[in-house]
């Protein structure tokens, strides 16, 4: 059987591993941190940093194809790995999504709409960007941000200094604050043969910059739903993408705006584990292994709730609920803001109806 190499051993790597072993693959995880969530489900684990060229070479030699659960893999490590084995999704998708500015340049280049944005390095550029874009606005580091980290909101020019200080000298991008009615995401997949399959868009609620829940189906008109799916397909095709991608969208009166894309399985796609015959993790493994994609259609409505920090204390009570599928990541320490697990509440129609 083939071996799938996964860069990153967090919960996404863990759930990818489970899906891969269900399809008869073996998995080898590469993760710098000790005892990561994927440790006990992967067939093999390498604990080493991304500058360890020996470990990277041995990892590549032991696998048939390489995928990843996070987008911030250092370039030098990728160069080394790519010389030995295919990396799916490809390097271009990674490079574009590692930097918020290159991502927005790419999206607008495809004719898609994003929030107005401007690169910001220092106070002069922030002032210029603010006068062009206006307030309110959000300043974000261009790289390495997730769960709303590395972001500062500006109500007006008076917040410029504090916002810039929050970037700690890192390159940033100013985005106009989008007035949206709600947020949705499309989890889309593209196979090695170029076929595309999208899951139904989900509606996302964030709390403190962190995804709190995803509800399927999202409130979207049929036209909005097809817009969402078509624009996702356009992004994947333009990148000659192979794998699953998360596309986050703002629903506005002017139509759908793209917030950001993630070249990997996505937290807002976790509902597929209990709403679809083929979930996003299996879909991703199918794609990177060169299998045909599953069709991704939904058999049930689902509400996914993230269990963050102390939410984990509610597990005994959730375990007593009917039709609540728990997915726990095996993390021992429940720090505030840390994703500990999620629950998929499957909306089962009442009997006899």
Q: Is 50 annotated as a binding residue?
A: no
User: Shortest CA distance to 70 belongs to which of 212, 266, 328?
Assistant: 266
The whole-angstrom separation of Cα 222 and Cα 226 is: 6
255 is in an annotated binding site: no
Cα torsion angle, 27, 95, 145, 305, sign: negative
The answer on whether 339 is annotated among ligand-binding residues is no
The binder of ligand ATP chosen from 260, 324, 327, 338 (CB under 6 A): 260
**DSSP E strand boundaries for 125-281:** 137-141, 151-154, 172-176, 182-190, 196-198, 202-207, 210-216, 243-252, 255-262
Nearest residue (CB) to ligand ATP, 284 versus 339? 339
The reply, when asked if residue 68 is annotated as ligand binding, is no
Q: Among 7, 15, 19, 138, indicate the residue that binds ligand ATP (CB under 6 A).
A: 138
CA 34 to chain centre: 23
Report, in Å, the least distance between residue 259 CB and ligand ATP.
Answer: 5
Spell out, one character per residue from 246 to 265, where the chain touches Mg ion: x when CB under 5 A holds, - when not.
--x-----------x-----
122 binds ligand ATP (CB under 6 A): no
| Environment class of 336 (CB within 10 Å of its CB; exposed 0-12, middle 13-18, buried 19+) | exposed
Structure tokens at 300: 């049930």
Stretch that binds ligand ATP, among 41-49, 53-61, 146-154, 230-238 (CB under 6 A): 146-154
Strand 3-7 to strand 65-68: parallel, antiparallel, or no bridges (unpaired)? parallel
Q: How far is the CB of 94 from Mg ion (least distance, A)?
A: 14
Q: Which does 175 bind (CB under 5 to 8 A by kind): ligand ATP, Mg ion, none?
A: ligand ATP
| Closest CB 145 distance from Mg ion, rounded Å | 6
Nearer to ligand ATP by Cβ, of 132 and 206: the residue is 206
**32 touches ligand ATP by CB under 6 A:** no
Residue 92: what are its φ and ψ, rounded to 5°? -65, -40
Query: Is 159 near ligand ATP (CB under 6 A)?
Result: no
Q: Is 183 in the site for ligand ATP (CB under 6 A)?
A: yes
Q: Is 145 within any annotated ligand binding site?
A: yes
Contact between 101 and 117 under an 8 Å Cβ cutoff? The reply is yes
Segment near ligand ATP (CB under 6 A); pick from 64-72, 141-149, 306-314, 340-348: 141-149
Tokens of 311: 């939410």
Name the site residues for Mg ion (rule: CB under 5 A): 248, 260
């Amino acid at each position: 059987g083939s071996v799938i190499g996964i860069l990153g051993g967090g919960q996404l790597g863990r759930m990818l591993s489970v899906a891969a072993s269900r399809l008869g693959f073996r998995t080898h995880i590469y993760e710098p941190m000790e005892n990561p969530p994927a440790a006990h489900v992967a067939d093999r684990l390498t604990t080493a940093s991304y500058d360890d060229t020996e470990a990277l070479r041995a990892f590549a030699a032991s696998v048939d194809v390489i995928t990843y659960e996070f987008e911030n893999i250092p370039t030098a490590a990728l160069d080394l790995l790519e010389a030995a084995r295919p990396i799916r999704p490809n390097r271009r998708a990674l490079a574009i999504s590692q930097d918020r500015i290159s991502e927005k340049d790419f999206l607008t280049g495809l004719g898609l709409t994003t929030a107005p944005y401007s690169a910001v390095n220092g106070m002069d550029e922030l002032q210029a960007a603010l006068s062009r874009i206006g307030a309110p606005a959000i300043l974000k580091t261009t790289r390495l941000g997730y769960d709303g980290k590395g972001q500062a909101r500006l109500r007006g020019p008076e917040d410029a200094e504090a916002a810039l200080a929050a970037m700690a000298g890192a390159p940033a991008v100013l985005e106009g604050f989008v007035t949206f009615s709600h947020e949705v995401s499309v989890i889309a997949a593209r196979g090695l043969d170029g076929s595309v399959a999208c899951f139904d868009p989900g509606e996302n609620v964030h709390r403190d910059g962190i995804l709190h829940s995803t509800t399927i189906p999202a409130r979207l008109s049929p036209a909005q739903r097809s817009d969402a799916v078509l624009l996702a397909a356009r992004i994947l095709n333009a990148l000659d993408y192979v794998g699953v991608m998360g596309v986050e969208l703002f629903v506005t009166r002017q139509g759908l705006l793209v917030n950001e894309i993630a070249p990997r399985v996505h937290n807002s796609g976790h509902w597929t584990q209990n709403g679809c015959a083929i979930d996003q993790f299996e879909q991703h493994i199918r794609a990177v292994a060169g299998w045909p994609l599953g069709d991704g259609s939904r058999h049930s409505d689902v509400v996914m709730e993230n269990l963050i920090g102390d939410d984990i204390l509610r597990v005994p009570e959730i375990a007593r609920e009917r039709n609540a599928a728990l997915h726990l990541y095996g993390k021992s320490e429940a720090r505030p803001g840390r994703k500990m697990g999620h629950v998929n509440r499957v909306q089962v129609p009442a009997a006899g109806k």
